[in-house]
Amino acid sequence: KLINIGSSPTDAKKALEHKYDYIVVGGGTAGLTIAKRLSEDPHKKVLVIEAGGSGVDSDLVTIPENSFHFIGTDIDWFYTTSPQEYASNLEINLSSGKILGGGSAVNGLVWITGDQVEYDAYEALGSPGWNWQDMHKCLVKAERLNVPSTELVNEYGFVVEPSSHGLSGPVDISFPEFLPLQHTKLIDACVELGHPFNRDPYSGNNTGAYYSLSSQTTKPIPPSRETSEFAYLTPNLSSSNLVVLSNATVTKLDTKTSSKQLVKATGVEFASPDGTSYTAKLSTKGEVILSAGTIRTPQLLELSGIGDSDILGPLGIDVKLDLKGVGANFEDQSLTIITYQLKDGYLSFDALGYNQTLLAEQQALYENTGTGWLTFAQGAGDMSSALTVLTSDELAEAEQILATKPDSISDDQFELIKKNVFNGSPQAEYIIFNSFSGGENKLPNTSYISLAITHLHPLSRGSIHINSTSIYDHPIIDPKVLSTEWDTWFLAKATAYGRKIMQTKAFGEILEEEEVWPGANTTTIDQWIDFIRKTVNLGYHPIGTASMLPREKNGVVAADLVVYGTSNIRVADVSIAPTHISAHTQTLAYTIGEKAAAIIKGTSC
Ligand SMILES: Cc1cc2nc3c(=O)[nH]c(=O)nc-3n(C[C@H](O)[C@H](O)[C@H](O)COP(=O)(O)OP(=O)(O)OC[C@H]3O[C@@H](n4cnc5c(N)ncnc54)[C@H](O)[C@@H]3O)c2cc1C
């Protein structure tokens, strides 16, 4: 049952007369996954409390090409970082979905998994059962692969290995019905430069150029973005033991300390949009599952008195549990953009802004036939290892830089990442943004494209901590982006290599020769570093603030996802990921949701 507490407070009050076996805080990607799976036991009552509303009737959500259009709207938490000391004091946008489905309702729809060694690292860092094999099974359980039609295969050359995917899970994944020429050119360009073409990047080896699936449906027409709401909640609205309260913002957990000196949650406090306070209660053996995402999960723990006493004490918060790792070990990938103008006769999505006839045509095509530009999702990319991006001289320089561990990161995380830099697993991702996505002096009525370059495994680690006792104040988000020599040097080199990709014969057919951004004057490593320090972005893939690590290594949860020092509080969202994967993170969120449910039920995926 879905109850909007803003419009149906009476129904909400009635639902709150019950005690729940599980209260899931946050109905986002992982949260709705775990809630649905837990509710499969008809004897368990499950309550989800979500700050946002439903995305069912929102074009911003359902139309695939609208991803990123949510930024600044009322379905965006609209965070920015604190001024970044090593990046020209930039306050970098880190928008996040405030809606049922969370990130899955607003993201870029890219559906991709990382390299096997990156998942195995979770186990190596101290969490038995968290490895590629087990985690991949959980992802497969979530997936419903739509095998591409012969027409799509013939038109774009899409390849997919069904054996790497689930065919009957709740989450529809498909190739987009339309892939712009500039995206297929990325694959041609990378192959021209000698990168491998990877037929099955979902096998645990994702290195090379590849076609990527996206989280969208194929039927009915028109295709829709797939979200955790549409996949896990909408088909199960009639389940009597699954209640979802929307437009309800959790303010803190109610806890007591048990005789064993463990903190025990007894319920959850939350508020409706008009400020009315409510309490949801747990049954005696009940559990709270925090799935509020990397930014809000540590905030809620801290507001509930669980966190670093040096941070909570000065704010006057009663410290229930001194847990230093809460909000620490925060990591995001870092991203730069270079921009080129398309030759006359070629169009990018910029044209939807200056050509109203084209926009109307594409809207009609989408509505009537389910094809065309509005079905767009990435569809193509390249994961490059350091061995591809760097010359042999540069690899020698990389060894020198990595001879010293920066203070930001733990010994074992550093050693794992360093090993992977030289063993050929991906360190940089290249994807096309099909519009003018970075730069100055944009000409009217002109189509551009940008190349987005992502450093997948930075060594910088930052933090997310509260600075007030109110849930409504954003926490301080400090990724410490580019704070290590490696992060700065490698991103600069990877960005310079991006220019090589854009200067291939493949792209020469469709791009004007002159680079629009940063432009031909940027050539030396110092100039590239200057460029990235002035323009760096984050990957919108924040992780790590409730890390699944040993407690003494800034861990917050153990392998069973129970918060250290508590008896019935678990975390299940991407904040538990201790280090990054070479991928976008929605597959990780669904994996965590499925695996967390299996752990709680005492089964496996
Ligand atoms: C702009 C953008 C683009 C992205 N692009 C891609 C992509 O193309 N491919 C990909 O794989 N990944 C992408 N990602 C990342 C991916 O979507 C996220 O990593 C993933 O969805 C996170 O899942 P989660 O369950 O950890 O958190 P979320 O899905 O963010 O869920 C957290 C939920 O908790 C709710 N919540 C928070 N605080 C409270 C509170 N106090 N009370 C009640 N509810 C609360 C939120 O509203 C939200 O619904 C993108 C993310 C963004 C923001």
The predicted-structure confidence for 32-52, as pLDDT tens digits, reads as follows 999 999 999 999 999 999 999
Element (H, E) at 601: helix 586-601
pLDDT digits (tens, 9 = 90+) for 184-227: 999 999 999 999 999 999 999 999 999 999 999 999 999 999 99
> Residue 260 has what pLDDT?
83
Q: How far is the CA of 250 from the centre of ligand 1 (A)?
A: 16
Residues 253/567, Cβ–Cβ less than 8 Å: no
Evaluate whether residue 463 is within a structural domain. Answer: no
Evaluate whether residue 13 is within a structural domain. Answer: yes
Evaluate whether residue 173 is within a structural domain. Answer: yes
Residues 125/412, Cβ–Cβ less than 8 Å: yes
User: What sign does the dihedral 104-598-294-266 (CA atoms) show?
Assistant: positive
Name every protein residue with a CB atom under 6 angstroms from any ligand 1 atom: 25-31, 49-52, 68, 95-99, 102-104, 106-110, 249-250, 291-293, 296, 300, 471, 540-541, 573-574, 584-587, 589
Helix-, strand-, coil-residue percentages of the chain, each rounded to 5: 35, 25, 45
pLDDT digits (tens, 9 = 90+) for 388-421: 999 999 999 999 999 999 999 999 999 999 999 9
Evaluate whether residue 63 is within a structural domain. Answer: yes
Q: How far is the CA of 302 from the centre of ligand 1 (A)?
A: 20
Give the Å distances, CA to CA, from 464 to 325, 454, 480, 547. 11, 22, 11, 12
Evaluate whether residue 419 is within a structural domain. Answer: yes
The closest residue, in CA terms, to atom 2 on ligand 1 is: 107
The closest residue, in CA terms, to atom 19 on ligand 1 is: 585
Q: Please tell me whether residues 498 and 378 are part of one structural domain.
A: yes
Cα 160 to the center of its chain, rounded Å:
23
Q: How far is the CA of 342 from the centre of ligand 1 (A)?
A: 33
The rounded distance, in Å, linking the Cα atoms of 123 and 129 is 6
Task: Cite the DSSP H helix spans in 513-585.
Answer: 525-535
pLDDT digits (tens, 9 = 90+) for 333-349: 999 999 999 999 999 99
- pLDDT exceeds cutoff 90 at 575: yes
Q: Atom of ligand 1 at shortest distance to CA of 593? A: 25
The rounded distance, in Å, linking the Cα atoms of 227 and 172 is 9
Among residues 500, 520, 535, the one where a domain terminates is: 535
Q: Please tell me whether residues 384 and 502 are part of one structural domain.
A: yes
User: What sign does the dihedral 294-296-301-307 (CA atoms) show?
Assistant: positive
pLDDT digits (tens, 9 = 90+) for 119-173: 999 999 999 999 999 999 999 999 999 999 999 999 999 999 999 999 999 999 9
Evaluate whether residue 154 is within a structural domain. Answer: yes
Residues 6+ apart with CB under 8 A from 503: none
Q: How far is the CA of 185 from the centre of ligand 1 (A)?
A: 30
Side chain identity, residue 427: Q
Average pLDDT over residues 362-375: 96
Q: How far is the CA of 284 from the centre of ligand 1 (A)?
A: 30
Q: How confident is the model at residue 536 (pLDDT cuts 50, 70, 90)?
A: very high
CATH number, domain containing residue 64: 3.50.50.60
Evaluate whether residue 149 is within a structural domain. Answer: yes
Among residues 515, 535, 555, the one where a domain terminates is: 535
Q: How far is the CA of 99 from the centre of ligand 1 (A)?
A: 9
Among residues 535, 552, 568, the one where a domain terminates is: 535
Q: Please tell me whether residues 132 and 78 are part of one structural domain.
A: no
10 Å CB burial of residue 154 (0-12, 13-18, 19+) is: exposed
Q: Please tell me whether residues 496 and 397 are part of one structural domain.
A: yes
Q: How far is the CA of 395 from the centre of ligand 1 (A)?
A: 36
Average pLDDT over residues 443-447: 97
Residues 584/139, Cβ–Cβ less than 8 Å: no
Residue 454: strand pairing partners: 335, 429
- Please count the structural domains in the chain: 2
Task: Cite the DSSP H helix spans in 304-341.
Answer: 309-312
Q: Atom of ligand 1 at shortest distance to CA of 109? A: 8
Give me 4's structure tokens: 């909007």
Question: Angle formed by the axes of helices 485-502 and 525-535, to 10°?
Answer: 100
Q: Please tell me whether residues 364 and 511 are part of one structural domain.
A: yes
Mutate which of 2, 4, 29, 78 for ligand 1 pocket (most atoms within 8 A of beta carbon): 29
Instruction: Determine the longest span between alpha carbons in the chain, in angstroms.
Output: 74
DSSP code of 434?
Answer: S
Q: Please tell me whether residues 251 and 277 are part of one structural domain.
A: yes
Rg over alpha carbons for the chain, rounded to the nearest Å, is 23
Q: Please tell me whether residues 379 and 496 are part of one structural domain.
A: yes
The rounded distance, in Å, linking the Cα atoms of 343 and 333 is 32
Evaluate whether residue 462 is within a structural domain. Answer: no
Q: Please tell me whether residues 22 and 126 are part of one structural domain.
A: no
CATH number, domain containing residue 401: 3.30.560.10
Q: Please tell me whether residues 311 and 256 are part of one structural domain.
A: yes
Mutate which of 61, 66, 70, 96 for ligand 1 pocket (most atoms within 8 A of beta carbon): 96
The closest residue, in CA terms, to atom 16 on ligand 1 is: 586
- pLDDT exceeds cutoff 90 at 463: yes
Q: Please tell me whether residues 217 and 239 are part of one structural domain.
A: no
> Residue 275 has what pLDDT?
96
Q: How far is the CA of 287 from the centre of ligand 1 (A)?
A: 22
Q: Please tell me whether residues 179 and 260 are part of one structural domain.
A: no
CA atoms within 13 A on the CB side of 508: 5
- The residue range of the domain holding 21 is 1-109+227-331+468-475+542-605
Closest CA to 67 of 477, 591, 433: 433
Q: Please tell me whether residues 520 and 557 are part of one structural domain.
A: no
The closest residue, in CA terms, to atom 50 on ligand 1 is: 107
> Residue 527 has what pLDDT?
98
